[in-house]
Structure 1
Amino acid sequence: MALTREELATRLELSSPSRIRVWETGLERPRPRFVPRLAAALGVEPLYLLDVDPDDPPLAALRLAAGLATNEVTAPGLSVMTYVRLEDGRPGADPSTRLTTAIADVLGVDVPRVDAAVRRSRRDHLAVASFGA
């Protein structure tokens, strides 16, 4: 089903369809809270909108698919800073089961999905770091 910009803006409760045009042209990306709503309106999975491999997404993509900003990924035993380090793919010890369970609960995915996303984020970080070396 094709939607006009006006129809999509109405479904997303935007004040103007111009925001849709800005997203379409790539001048800006939708705020995290709009990603799941936009995907639902378009009838696609949120990861489809994020230009990532849906079978191997990095942690940031799982967060965006859940509609959360980084400062919203917090829970008992999970600080925003700890989460950001994992999302950035910074090297370090593997996160504990308790930590990945907390992240999985906040993002609404299962623990193996979080573990795989952390590994993907670290591979991506390593690739960028070695490219600049």
Structure 2
Amino acid sequence: MARPLLRGDRLQAAREAVGLTREELATKLGLSGPARVRVWETGLERPRPRFVPRLASALGVDPLYLLDVDAGDPPLAALRLAAGFATNQVTAPGLSVMTYVRLEDGRPGVDDSAKVIAAVAEVLGMDVARVEAAVRRSRSNHAALASFGG
């Protein structure tokens, strides 16, 4: 499944709403200049996952607002990005990266035991109910794509 995209229009609107220039936002993020902010706003590049929560914090918005997802019912990938993690960083005792990737992709038959969901929730810093709902959304998205393609 495709990773949720940062909405450049929302990034720009949030930046303008708090009265920051691209240069000022770049400085807050520790970037060398405003070019990176410009390419994110225009959609030419995606920020690394670690920048999503940093952008949201600097702009005073929920990280999910910056992504092209329904913030009320996001898939697991969106929660991961909102927390600032790359897929290979979501691992813990009893949770392999591959198990996590399969959960995020919404593949059926993946271990979604309470222990695995609790491990994902802990890594992402989210509550278990939110992660369970995100796994359901990811599965729904996967099923929709599978039926569309098949």
Gaps of 5+ in 2: 1-17
Partner deviation per Cα, 1:19-55 (whole Å, 9 max, x = no partner)? 0110011111111000000001111000000121111
Q: How does the TM-score come out when normalised to structure 2?
A: 0.86
Q: Tell me the alpha carbon deviations over residues 51-105 of structure 1, each in whole angstroms, 9 at most, x when there is no partner.
A: 2111110000000000000000000000000000000011115611011000000
Which consecutive segments of 4 or more residues in structure 1 shift more than 4 A? Answer: none
- Equivalent-residue separation in structure 1 for 2:122 and 2:139 (angstroms): 21
Identity across the alignment (%): 77
Gaps of 5+ in 1: none
Q: How many residues align?
A: 133
Given the two structures, how large is their TM-score scaled by the length of structure 1? 0.97
1:97 aligned to 2:105? no
Q: For residue 40 of structure 2, what is the aligned residue in structure 1? A: 23
**Cα distance between partner residues in 2 of 1:101 and 1:88:** 18
User: Cα RMSD between the aligned structures?
Assistant: 0.9
Counterpart of 1:11 in structure 2: which amino acid?
K
Match of 2:94 among 77, 80, 86: 77
| 2:72 paired residue among 55, 61, 65 | 55
